[in-house]
Structure 1
């Protein structure tokens, strides 16, 4: 679907339908489009929308566990599935109508048969879009200021590379708007530590646009050597390190599901000293009011900057982030 954005947008306009995306599908239609709900399929409001929908059309989506709440997401009985891989059709969820083919060609063939949705449906889509974004914005507490500041400081064409960390998994993969699939860079396999290397590659490939990398202190520790690559190549890259002194996602899971912590509280470097040792500019965010000025300065600098977000000083999310996993026996 990422290569069929024009056809997909045409189908949205013709039908008044809402568009949900997986993480990989973000930006196929720019996320400021009023019918793009985005990567919010498992929220209560979207579940209710799916329950009332007459038909669901899915394009190239493989229904990963993270994006179906461990396969608990309910779909409408009428499910049209398009995929270029015939083995993907009906593999995870049943498909009432399985269409084996290229996304753009299939959507072009469907478009003449499109009819507008019933009165009020598109308005409901817009209301759900607004609701899920507002709820997430509220739930992430002081980190909302950072999300807002990143988008405000970036031009419309800019790469956002995200390592696997709480800010990415909670709001970077959903609330931080994407306008083009090529701007949406993240490790699709889910492994930590890859974000900085991916961001450096993206920044060097597109030198005329800024790149932002979102990483955690634990994930960055896996590839600290890439800081030297960043210092050597000096691309237009702002590395935002969210420092909570450990593996935050695993810590939250252990706090919720077990009686003790193990291997989640980590020794963390002094990032100001580390940046200085690598010859990198350093800035720090320790309060919501720091986000706009600090990120504005870093992104406008035209070169690399390490920005540390001190999560202890900034304060906790309103609702702690825990992945949608099921623990056997619980």
Structure 2
């Protein structure tokens, strides 16, 4: 056993343990309860990014993970820091996004005494447990590596989500007397062969099968694409599965489950294969009227057994990761034409998305982005262009379109998430799509982008307030209240951060602004002046 002065403190052992497990980036704001933890960062290989709010930390870690498929860490102060990051953790949990949150808490001997100490919560772990996929309070320094491995097991082998490890602040300087363990190689659950055969039999006997792909299917798109093509059937890809089949794939119906034509087709499907999707309403029923109905035999494949007992009755349920199940199932599917591409083309023709009055303005909007920044990563908030893009935009590969309009549906996500995505993928053009209302939730993170010298493009859809809620109030015949809010002069604000700013009102100007400003910039779109007609391009033909 090493001498006491040679033993690492928990803070230093934690940093070494994170590096050994592949963490390279930490998002966090130092505080009086985490100074010892930050001492462990000295001389480490971890990159630390300082947001301007702990919610920003969580959204940055979320964007980082969605961009590259691996977690980052957040170092968060006791009390208000933890409640600030809770919203970001809830969004990540709803969308199955991995992140590791390390939170300080009161000293071990002070826990639960409610003595009115600085940053004290009655039970911090209980407060955060509801938004975490894994939650643990570390009470002995020598248990550190075991607890880290348990958190990383969630990332590697279960349905991922935020993992929370709470550390009493007196433990940061405590010695760790045990050595770290060699990294484990964990494999996700393999599909049961009998279940695969039962699924294949049902699909081979189907006359009108339907494939549903969720965010759990994006890790190995080649395996998923091979299955879809062998099935030769219409495929709904959710917002989080965007790009899994590739751009303009003839079988891809996109995230269009709420349109009447697609609902009818889904209801008529005799066998439905759902992979890596919780079948939630923000993916299949965004009009929230319960009109997406599956009447056929449902085969559901998911890492989370609880998802196999959800709102839709499952005839055949397989606990497995998507790629393993796809590889096992594909060779058992009869290779025969099922007319999938023709049915998809007919459904697109019936939906006629680019000619709809509510979607037409955004055809030219996204065409301008595609022409100026092809294959960019588009990170969105809950805002009009994102709602439209969820059904209009096609991506060449996964992890290029994600936003907070799914699941938890928070505002303020896009800017910090884009910062995280750019930190994860510095070689990629990252574009933020956010409304004037949502941007104000986390606008301080522009300073973080400046600090980190991250050349992201912030596109602000300025429609003078909360337009979506404004319309909803009008539809419900409720007098408008709290939605016609003032916005700052975004050009002056950008200048205050030292960021170039531009106002545009049409696709030509937007395209030019994107080409003129490869560095960090803010482009303000005048939504009221934007043309209301479609300008059809190859981006939207299917």
Q: TM-score, normalised by structure 2?
A: 0.55
1:225 alignment counterpart: 444
8 A contact 2:261–2:347 mirrored in 1: yes
Partner of 2:306: 87
* Contact 2:354 2:363 survives alignment (8 Å): no
Matched, 1:161 2:382: no
After superposition, the C-alpha distances for 1:191-228 in whole angstroms (9 at most, x for unaligned) are 10011000011112211111000000000011111111
How large is the RMSD of aligned CA atoms in angstroms?
2.1
Question: Gaps spanning 5+ residues in structure 2: where?
Answer: 1-216, 535-542
2:465 is the alignment partner of 1:246: yes
Provide TM-score, normalisation by structure 1.
0.88
Pairwise mapping of residues 166-181 of structure 1 onto structure 2 (< 5 A)?
A: 166-169=384-387, 171-181=388-398
Partner of 1:173, secondary structure, is helix
- Say if 1:62 and 1:92, in contact at 8 Å, map to a contact too: no
The whole-number CA distance in structure 2 between the counterparts of 1:239 and 1:276 is 14
Alpha-carbon distance change, 208 to 118 in structure 1, aligned in 2, over 3 angstroms? closer
1:92-136 CA-partner distances (Å, limit 9, x unpaired): 211121112221111112112212465544311233245546446
Q: CA deviation at 1:59?
A: 0.4
Q: Distance in 2 between matches of 1:227 and 1:60?
A: 34
**Secondary structure, aligned partner of 1:274:** helix
Alignment of 1:132-281 (within 5 A): 132=351, 134-135=353-354, 139-156=358-375, 158-169=376-387, 171-187=388-404, 188-281=407-500
How far 1:232 sits from its partner (Å)? 2.6
1:294 and 1:13 map into 2 onto residues whose CA distance is 39
Alignment of 1:23-42 (within 5 A): 23-42=239-258
Quick one: distance in 2 between partners of 1:134 and 1:162? 20
Per mean C-alpha deviation after superposition, the further-off stretch among 238-247 and 113-122 is 113-122
Deviations 1:67-87 (A, max 9, x none): 232332011411111111111
Return closer, same or farther for 1:155/1:259 CA change in 2, 3 Å cut-off: closer
Structure 1: 5+ residue runs without aligned partners?
319-330
> What SS does the aligned partner of 2:529 have?
helix
SS of residue matched to 1:57: strand
Aligned to 1:269, what secondary structure does the other structure show? Answer: coil
* Alpha-carbon distance in 1 for matches of 2:486, 2:226: 51
Matched with 1:290 is: 509
CA distance change for structure 1 residues 189 and 233 in 2, over 3 Å: closer, same or farther? same
Deviation at 1:47, TM superposition (A): 1.4
Q: For the residues of structure 2 that align with 1:74 and 1:100, how far apart are their CA atoms?
A: 23
Q: Between Structure 1 and Structure 2, whose CA radius of gyration is higher?
A: 2
Shift of residue 36 of structure 1? 1.0
Contact 1:133 1:175 in 2 (8 A): no
Q: Using the alignment, how far apart are the partners of 2:292 and 2:277 within structure 1?
A: 14
The equivalent of 1:322 in structure 2 is none
Q: Give the drift of 1:27.
A: 1.8
Flag as ranges the 4+ runs of structure 1 deviating above 6 A. Answer: none
Partner of 1:109: 328
Structure 2 residue 524 is matched with structure 1 residue 305:
no
Aligned match of 1:64: 280
Structure 1 stretch displaced more, 275-284 or 230-239: 230-239
Question: Aligned partners of 1:116 and 1:230: how far apart in 2?
Answer: 50
How far off its partner does 1:315 sit?
5.3
Structure 1 residues 176, 122: closer, same or farther in 2, change over 3 A?
Answer: closer
Structure with larger RCO (C-alpha < 8 A, sep 6+): 1
**Residues 253 and 268 (structure 1), Cα distance of their counterparts in 2 relative to 1, 3 Å cut:** same
How many residue pairs align between the two structures?
313
Distance (whole Å) between structure 2 residues aligned to residue 295 and residue 223 of structure 1: 22
